[in-house]
Amino acid sequence: MSRMTDDPRIDPRFKEMFGGLSAFPLPNFDSREELVAAMNRPEVLEGLNETSLFSEEEAEAVAPSEGLTITTETFVSEPDGNTIKVSLMRPASEGPLACVYYIHGGGMAVMSAFDLGYQSWGRMIANQGVAVAMVDFRNCAIPSSAPEVEPYPAGLNDCMSGLRWLISRADEFGIDARRILVAGESGGGNLTLALGLRLTREGHAGLVKGLYAMCPDIAGSRPRDELPSSIENNEVWLDSHSNFGRLGYGIEAFEARDPEAWPLFAKEEHVRGFPETVISVNECDPLRDEGIEFYRLLLRAGQSARCRQVMGTIHGGDNMVLPCTDLALVTARDIAAFCRGHYRSRRIRPDIG
């Protein structure tokens, strides 16, 4: 029996759709090679497909493609020279549009921007009047549309290269280069914050309007005595007590405490000058407190930040267009409002934070 079924906090609609599924099992592995081989077994790939329990017709009803121009673009990533695809969605508009540069989830290891769940989520955001560019970076375990499987920093390099490519092609795509918001959930939330850290380190934080990180997977481990949500919420949809993330994405970077691989290692000096940021977390998520801790780091450093918690939701629950369409719409509208510049967080002075 899934823990989701008996948890009174969880929205009954999640229980109805997902309650019969067990938390995705993530054992401890001895090597990255063993991990990659295990993840690419047929039964694992089939199990991942179970996480999308709705059809294209159902998704189209709540996240329609009508009125959107949807194309697939490509760019060459640096420094490796590999080719990456981008799903570009644009609503009809006479002028340049604000744009959400979206980074998909999956622990930097699995999933693709071209999966049904992400295509429908991208359409829902685009239907709020902004362009959406979904970058299909290299995963570290199971290939996305990019056939190469590579650990850190490959995925981050692809996301950084894609952002610069998008800015360089903004006029061609009808995008306002001054209003590009980087957003992503779970592993994409990691890469969103990591991209912000790299931009800040390089002195280029002003390239983006801001960052919107949902349920970010940024610790690389879940210390039981440090992150209470990893205890109270473990095995609610997600089993977070394994070495899967840090071993698959970058064990060397984890041991070196590299914040651009695992942003929860960041210190105040790493985030001074950081882009304006929203952290969004899910109440019943084992990863909830990772995002909250990063938000508090930003406040301590005097940065513009806002944190929201979506009650009754599992990990990533409010970027699923089904079953809780109303919750997804609220988050999509919040992302679009930030992207267009309709609100600004209050900057906290370090001495009063």
Residues 329, 324: Cα–Cα separation, whole Å: 9
Q: Residue 167, CB half-sphere, CA atoms under 13 Å: how many?
A: 15
- Beta-sheet strands, E only, within the chain: 68-76, 83-91, 97-103, 131-135, 175-185, 210-214, 277-282, 305-310
Residue 46 confidence (pLDDT): 72
Residue 43 confidence (pLDDT): 73
- Residue 22: pLDDT band by 50, 70, 90 thresholds? low
Residue 21 confidence (pLDDT): 67
Please indicate whether residue 106 or residue 244 has the higher confidence score (pLDDT).
106
Residue 51 confidence (pLDDT): 56
- Residue 347: pLDDT band by 50, 70, 90 thresholds? very low
CA separation, residue 70 to residues 64, 73, 120, 131 (Å): 12, 10, 12, 10
Residues 189, 196: Cα–Cα separation, whole Å: 11
Its pTM stands at 0.94
Residues 313, 97: Cα–Cα separation, whole Å: 31
List domains and CATH numbers for the chain.
Answer: 3-282+289-340 (3.40.50.1820)
- Beta-sheet strands, E only, within 284-337: 305-310
Please indicate whether residue 213 or residue 47 has the higher confidence score (pLDDT).
213
Among 4-13, 230-239, 254-263, 312-321, the least confident range: 230-239
- Listed residue (120, 117, 108) closest to 144, CA to CA: 108
Q: What is the pLDDT of residues 257-284, one digit of tens each?
A: 999 999 999 999 999 999 999 999 999 9
Q: What is the pLDDT of residues 68-127, one digit of tens each?
A: 999 999 999 999 999 999 999 999 988 899 999 999 999 999 999 999 999 999 999 999
3-state class of 121 per DSSP?
Answer: helix
φ/ψ (deg, to 5) at 178: -85, -10
Q: Name beta bridge partners: 44.
A: none
- Listed residue (186, 211, 190) closest to 200, CA to CA: 211
Percent of the chain with pLDDT over 90: 78
- Residue 352: pLDDT band by 50, 70, 90 thresholds? very low
φ/ψ (deg, to 5) at 34: -65, -40
Token pair in block for residue 100: 């959400």
Residue 25 confidence (pLDDT): 58
Residue 1 confidence (pLDDT): 38
Task: Taking each helix axis as running N to C, give the angle between helix 32-39 and helix 244-255, from 0 to 180 degrees, rounded to the nearest 10.
Answer: 150
Among 88-97, 121-130, 182-191, 335-344, the least confident range: 335-344
A 10 A CB-CB count for 351 gives: 6
> Which residue's entry shows tokens 């109270």?
232
- In our burial notation (b when 16+ CB lie closer than 10 A, e otherwise), range 272-289 reads ebbbbbbbbbbbbbbbbb
287 has a pLDDT exceeding 90: yes
